[in-house]
Structures are given as structure tokens and as C-alpha cells.
Amino acid sequence: MTLQKNEIKGIVIKSTGSWYRVRAENNTEVFEARIVGKFRLQNMVLTNPVAVGDEVMMQLERGDWLIKKILPRRNYVARQSPRQKHQLHLLAANIEQTILFVTIVEPMLKVGFIDRFLLMTEPQNIPTIIVFNKSDLFSKSKEGRQFFENISNIYQKIGYETIALSSVSGEGIATLRQLLKDKTTLIAGQSGVGKSSAINAIEPTLNLRTGEISDYSGKGQHTTTFAEMHPLSFGGFLIDTPGIKTLAFNNLEALDVAQNFREFFELSSDCKFGGSCLHRNEPQCAIKNALTEGGVAESRYQSYLQILEEIEKQNYWELHKDF
């Protein structure tokens, strides 16, 4: 690509919504830039048109760097905006994998959250690894360890890698480093699951602020209010994201959900209604059969039904808003 005068190609490493930090492609020089114009995705308005990981063209105009163009995204992770349900919020773009942090205790696991998260990465075919963090806590009891094995199995069986991790005992830290090495990884989770502590264990120089108030000096520490890409000393980049409270799917249709529960999709060719089966009351449904035979996990099916119901409820109010 030939660059115009005063033009730089870069990669967005931090996005606050009003300004963007961009690292030049050819060196480590960093710029603060703004955007001009409107950008859309899936026909929906974006709360943040430019995401961390985006490759952009910037131009210097009257002393300000302006993002003029976003290069085509190889992929992206987008969620329904928590504040404006008709808008999408981009978590990151151009990533190679995602790591979802969850806990089994402290805080207690919400299995449905895993399924919701996977519904964000699956449409883009982004590999997702599930980290069961604070393993020092759930490993204390036989029941805790058994619970981990059971839940791990559900996701491993359908092709998601899982690991037990603890920044207290050190379990899994070496494995996680290996997984991150030389890749661009989005790391996400609900707040309090120990994501920052784990990142600090992997890369101490980042010195991310953690939940321990007594440890917090307020000096020289990052906060995770906005997504930010950090280079890893052993190779690769990590995109840390703010804690997610809930995930809703106003942007999806019921059939999108069916197609992105990967094991449902795989089985759906055996449903009487094939690709149009919603796996609820339809006759001869392969998913419902697999459910009774134990091939499909009950918890996955329950998450699925709940998401469908939410989408339908939203559509219902939408249809009747002028009634």
C-alpha cells in the first residue's frame, strides 16, 4: 500500500469512545486519534465505531490525527450495547482467539453466561477457551473438583478448550502463557472472576488494578474501563476488556441462536424441519431426542430456550409499540 503524505496505517490499541490510541504499523510509535464520519455494522448503529484491534488509516489534519478509514475486519466481537439495546458495541476486532474467564465459586458460576458468551464468538468462528479461575477454591473439596470436571466435559465435548487456573496456586498459569504466546487474544469475563490477577500473574509488568482495595495505591496502575491491547513480553497481544455484567441478543433472530449453538447446528440436519427447526415443540427434533439420550447437555438447552424467549419478548414489544 502506498501511503499519502501525512498518512499512517496503524492498529487501534485503546478505544474510549471519544478518542482512540493507535500504534503505528511499522514501529511502536503511538498516536491519539479521533474519528470523522459514521460507521455501521450489521445495519445497526455502533456505540463505538472503531474497536481495539481495528486496522485504520489516519491522516494528520491541522495538527490532529483523524481516523479516515477502517480496513476490512477479519472478524469482530460485538455485543448488544448495555445502555442502548438497538445499538451494537464492539469489544474488539481482528483477534485470533478469545479467553472467557469464569469462576465456580466466589462468585458462583452462572452457566448461562458461558453459553451467552459463546453466542458472541461462534458467529465469527473465533476459537474460545474457557478458563475456570480460582481453582484453588473449588479444588478444596472433592465435590468442587467433580463439578469442574462435569462442566468442563460439557464444553470439551462440543469442542471448546477448558482449563483450571489459579493465580494463587499457580495451576494452569504456564498453560495459559503457552496459549497466549504469539497470538492476539481477547480476554473477557464478569467482574470479580480474577481476570486482572491472572493477567498480572502472566505479565507482572502490566500491573493491572485488582479487586483488592488494600493493594490499590492508584499510582501507575491500569484500570479496565475500556478495552485495551497490551503486548506480551513472550510474544503476542492481549486485549483486556471491562467486566461484562449481562449479555443480551437484540441483534439476533431466533434461528441465528439455533445455528450458533454449535452442537445443535450439527444435529439439526436430522430434525424433521431441518435448518428451520427451533427445537422446541417441533415433532421429530434431533436436539430434543439427544437431550433425553444425554447427547445434548440440559444446561445448554435451558440457556438456549431462555435466550429465544428473551428475543421473542423484545420483538413482541417492538411489534406492539404503536398499538
CB of 134 to ligand GDP, least distance (A): 4
Q: Per CB under 6 A, does 172 bind ligand GDP?
A: no
Q: Per CB under 6 A, does 167 bind ligand GDP?
A: yes
Tell me which of Zn ion, ligand GDP, none is bound by residue 287, counting a contact when its beta carbon lies within the kind-specific cut-off of 5 to 8 angstroms: Zn ion
DSSP string, 73-112: PS-EEEEE-SS-TTEEEEEEES-SEEEEEEESTTTTP-HH
Nearer Cβ to Zn ion (92/277): 277
Q: How far apart are CA 180 and CA 302, in angstroms?
A: 32
CB of 115 to Zn ion, least distance (A): 17
Q: Per CB under 5 A, does 154 bind Zn ion?
A: no
- Residue 198 sits at φ, ψ, to 5 deg, of -65, -40
Q: Which residues contact 295 (CB under 8 A, 6 or more apart)?
A: 267
Q: Per CB under 6 A, does 50 bind ligand GDP?
A: no
Nearer Cβ to ligand GDP (195/300): 195
Question: Which H or E run contains 286?
Answer: helix 286-293
CA distances from 155 to 15, 53, 143, 148, 203 (A): 32, 27, 19, 11, 27
Tell me which of Zn ion, ligand GDP, none is bound by residue 136, counting a contact when its beta carbon lies within the kind-specific cut-off of 5 to 8 angstroms: ligand GDP
Exactly one of 127, 144, 211, 242 binds ligand GDP (CB under 6 A); that residue is: 211
Give the cell for residue 93.
476486532
Nearest residue to 262 via CA among 149, 109, 101, 154: 154
CA dihedral 230, 116, 101, 212 (to 10 degrees): 90
Nearer Cβ to Zn ion (46/271): 271
Given a contact cutoff of 8 angstroms between Cβ atoms, the answer to whether 12 and 21 are in contact is yes
Exactly one of 59, 185, 196, 250 binds ligand GDP (CB under 6 A); that residue is: 196
Nearer Cβ to ligand GDP (10/189): 189
In Å, how far from its chain's centre is CA 71?
21
3-state secondary structure 196-218: HHHHHHHCHHHCECCCCHHHCCC
Q: Per CB under 5 A, does 267 bind Zn ion?
A: no
Q: Per CB under 6 A, does 303 bind ligand GDP?
A: no
Exactly one of 166, 241, 250, 303 binds ligand GDP (CB under 6 A); that residue is: 166
Let me know the angle formed at the C-alpha of 45 by 90 and 320, rounded to the nearest 5 degrees. 120
CB of 220 to ligand GDP, least distance (A): 17
CB of 95 to ligand GDP, least distance (A): 19
Nearer Cβ to Zn ion (186/277): 277
CB of 210 to ligand GDP, least distance (A): 4
Q: Per CB under 5 A, does 287 bind Zn ion?
A: yes
Single-letter amino acid, residue 24? A
Q: Per CB under 5 A, does 308 bind Zn ion?
A: no
The CB-nearest residue to ligand GDP is: 194
Q: Per CB under 5 A, does 8 bind Zn ion?
A: no
Binding site residues, Zn ion, CB under 5 A:
271, 277, 279, 285, 287
Residues that bind ligand GDP (CB under 6 A): 133-134, 136-137, 166-168, 189, 191-197, 210-212, 243
